[in-house]
Structure 1
């Protein structure tokens, strides 16, 4: 059996030949080049703001699939971290749950989204419920979509490749992403995603194929991994695992999904595009999960989030190492630039539009502001990728999922104020439950100690979801028979 030695330093500079660097920088230049080309190619005609924000709603099926798939994997080191620690639990929580949500979206929601002809998710909430709902949704969307985890991923990548500090990597990498995204808006994001989609798929496929060829298949993994890595929960509790199922339902209201849907040529493009993307995601997840399991088996003492990367650059031959490194960068940048752009849309279009009449200019300024906030957030937030995703995803899903789905299921039956009350009550309930053990740490009676124990056992997400549902149920119980008078929005 071939052995893969541990790397002595967290840098790849000495492991890449000139051929690898040539491939890497050619792909980087191609990415920037097509971003500029996308702006030139689609610059003329139409509404300038709509063209900048949504590519003039001219997103074709191939572009839709490429940009949607590419946007979803920026937290590659987080996925590697979860697989390294918990095995196929990653495939269940970051894969299977999400596939179900994608299919539900394609079959039951795609056509409803298109009917609103909105620009952003908060804009959609405003059209459904009213201006207060739009502002509330914008606030939750902004914090959810600000790319803290992906700025951190980029900093880690540049640290591993060039040996610079993670903070310096986050600053330089995020600035680069801002510069080419701001050039042509959504067009630049989409066209760069086409290159990044191609490179990232090739990269993870190569690692999986070379792993099987070099070390063998399932029998090798079974012999060299802990038994818990092959259980669906990976040693986590059922309730902890199911949280990811509810968070996956956030795909039904995910701002990245909605941006692509609003930009698509037709509802048919959305439906077909999401189904095709789901199949590609399935294949991609198989490759990344398999590669991370091999990394865990062969580099068991490595840092969980970094093992896959260092394993791959030792495994692949010269030339393909450069393609892999470029693929990892493509995975991170494709999500980072999309999230930066969506967060800047939320800030400039949904929150500050009344203050700045030039939407394009305010969006460009907002892009750099969001980039700075993402870097600061990544520097301050000391938790793992899993904790970042779990915290932000829990608040977003618990507070917005049910109210927006109510708008689809029972249009015109829920008021602007009811939406705001349900969302804010969910957030308050989650926050209170999260800090309840701190408040009750000196409790002297059985009730206080029991409540503190329950707060530590039951995730705050469930409290937020149930609180919001209770508010909506109480409202609907008294008002279902009364059509709501709609508030004019926009």
Structure 2
């Protein structure tokens, strides 16, 4: 009976969201600006629920439950860095980004700081990696969960969910994404609260009870932060810098109708994300206390199938489905926009809006295919996220920070169309590439440090001709 209702729910929800996207098809096809960022006209409530729906993907419910089962509270520094970075983003960058109508972080970097199409393409590649990993994580998580609920092979299901993500995103652009996120985000919050209350009731809402239960099954180590300070800092920076490089959040800021709306939306959604994701990790610890012989990847599935009613299991499936489809559609849309905006447009000028929109829609398919491959061959959802965060965070964010702080004209605000940074073309290129490579090989802390140092040093040794002229004028 559960398998039947799972199939029925999946089909109904898929059709509902595809039909919703059809409503906004005409509006999104008016121009590439409308398709990409809804013309920069979105109000606070749409940005807020879109942020929440995008943040709370499968990884936050299933991936972090598995990590909680394995690592316990040692997973929390990564969570605080990953999810708390939304609050940092809100305080430092959201309002700033909302002043502009760029379509990507790469375009912002190019216009205000780098003025180099190769660097813009590198940023596009690095930030696309985050989105491909994220989409793959949604498909992988949904396929695994659905196979448990229906006793079917997860591989065809990964293809099925990916097809739904792709079709839904191709049709309606940004308008479709944010309006369906409004519905999904509201339902998601309600179902998540119900789920966590149900789980915490198993330990009588007491962390001391959880500790005692874990000690009884020789898993008391999960309640200890048994990692070094360096590892804690590395986990925090990995999550934090990865999110600061995430195109999907910058894109929502560019789409906001005013800076205050963008800042408030990201600020509030950051607190929601921290609370829910920590609860997901604690859920994994609770499962460990109840059945320590499980594999970590089976933790949440076992809890649902063995400890909850069929109705509760179905509601949980709907919760995860909403989380997956909203997060994946946002990432697919952002990835397609980034590739068109930062990799195609700089090298093929003069494309009309109609061509750009058509290309974006086909790229949704291409990104979806790469995401399927990532889902199939990755070891876990979190491993996908962590590698992508490390590369993009270690390469893009240091160059962005140096570029914004190291102004050519310190008294002037950044304005669209006006270059105002001492970071040179080669400084930006080397900073981006070295940060990504060093972060993967030696860790993100070293990557960030090397990227910042090389960005500054190379920019001083090989400055742009324009920067040299500005320096000469200042010295007169």
Please classify the TM superposition score into its range, dividing by the shorter chain length. 0.7 to 0.9
Mapped contact 1:32–1:192 kept (Cα < 8 A): no
Question: C-alpha separation between the residues in 2 aligned to 1:253 and 1:426?
Answer: 13
Distance 1:334 1:195 in 2: 10
- 1:102 to 1:377, Cα distance in 2 relative to 1, 3 A: closer
Given the alignment of the two structures, is residue 51 of structure 1 paired with residue 60 of structure 2, yes or no? no
Map residues 88-103 of structure 1 onto 2, 5 A cutoff: 88-94=73-79, 96-103=80-87
The farther-off stretch of 474-483 and 270-279 is 474-483
The verdict on how the C-alpha distance between 1:397 and 1:214 changes in structure 2, with shifts beyond 3 A counting, is closer
Q: Once superposed, what is the RMSD of the aligned Cα atoms?
A: 2.8
SS of the residue aligned with 1:300? coil
**Matched residue, 1:203:** 191
Relative to structure 1, is the Cα distance of residues 198 and 314 closer, same or farther in structure 2, using a 3 angstrom cutoff? farther
Q: How does 1:436-451 map to 2 (within 5 A)?
A: none
The alpha-carbon deviation at position 284 of structure 1 amounts to: 1.8
Deviation at 1:24, TM superposition (A): 5.9
* Deviations 1:364-419, CA, capped at 9 Å, x for gaps: 100001111111222233x3333322222111111111101122222321122210
Match of 1:448 in 2: none
Q: Does residue 418 of structure 1 match 2:414?
A: no
Whole-angstrom CA distance in 2 between matches of 1:22 and 1:167 = 19
- Label 1:430 to 1:472 Cα distance change in 2 as closer, same or farther (>3 A): same
**Aligned with residue 228 of structure 1, among 221, 230, 246:** 221
1:72 to 51, 55, 69: 55
8 Å Cα contact 1:141-1:396 kept in structure 2: yes
The 8 Å contact of residues 424 and 464 in structure 2, kept in 1 or not, is answered as: no
Query: Relative to structure 1, is the Cα distance of residues 364 and 475 closer, same or farther in structure 2, using a 3 angstrom cutoff?
Result: same
- The unaligned stretches of length 5 or more in structure 2 are 408-420, 470-476
Q: Which residue of 2 aligns with 1:344?
A: 336
**Residues in 1 aligned to 2:93 and 2:107: alpha-carbon distance in whole angstroms:** 16
Contact 1:340 1:367 in 2 (8 A): yes
TM value normalised by structure 1: 0.82
How far has the Cα of 1:330 moved from its partner?
A: 1.3
Contact 1:124–1:134 (CA<8 Å) still a contact in 2?
A: no
Stretches of structure 1 lacking an aligned partner (at least 5 in a row)? 1-13, 435-458
Separation (CA, whole Å) in 2 of partners of 1:16 and 1:167: 17
User: CA 1:142/1:212 → structure 2, altered by over 3 Å: closer, same or farther?
Assistant: closer
Tell me which of 283, 295, 299 is aligned to 2:287: 295
Check if 1:106 corresponds to 2:115: no
Distance (Å, rounded) in 2 between the aligned partners of 1:198 and 1:243: 34
Helix, strand or coil at the partner of 2:293: coil
Maintained 8 Å contact 1:24/1:323: no
Instruction: Check if 1:427 corresponds to 2:436.
Output: yes
- Alignment size in residue pairs: 440
Aligned equivalent of 1:370: 367
In the TM superposition, what is the alpha-carbon distance from 1:331 to its structure 2 partner?
1.4
Contact 1:52 1:360 in 2 (8 A): yes
Match of 1:144 in 2: 130
33 and 378 in structure 1: CA distance in 2 versus 1, 3 angstrom threshold? same
4+ runs deviating over 4 angstroms: 14-18, 20-29, 354-357, 476-483
Q: Distance in 2 between matches of 1:172 and 1:34?
A: 19
Change (3 A) 1:270 1:212: same
TM-score, reference length from structure 2: 0.84
Contact 2:244 2:393 in 1 (8 A): no
Residue 121 (structure 1) shift: 1.3
Aligned to 1:456: none
Which residue of 133, 137, 161 corresponds with 2:119?
133
For the residue of structure 2 that corresponds to 1:484, the secondary structure is: helix
1:388 aligns with: 384
Relative to structure 1, the CA distance from residue 322 to residue 37 in structure 2 (aligned partners, 3 Å threshold; closer, same or farther) is farther
Change (3 A) 1:215 1:427: closer
From 63, 68, 72, the equivalent of 2:46 is 63
Among 180, 185, 190, the residue aligned to 1:192? 180
The alignment status of 1:307 with 2:292, answered yes or no, reads no
Question: d(CA) in 2 for partners of 1:288 and 1:184?
Answer: 32
How far the C-alpha of 1:269 sits from its partner, in A, is 0.4
Contact 2:67/2:284 (8 A) holds in 1: no
State the alpha-carbon separation in 2 of the partners of residues 216 and 284 from structure 1: 18
Equivalent of residue 394 in structure 2, options 391, 394, 398: 398
Report the structure, 1 or 2, having the larger helix content: 2
Quickly say closer, same or farther: Cα 1:321–1:38, change in 2 above 3 A.
farther
In the alignment, is residue 162 of structure 1 matched against residue 175 of structure 2?
no
What residue in structure 2 maps to residue 153 of structure 1?
Answer: 141
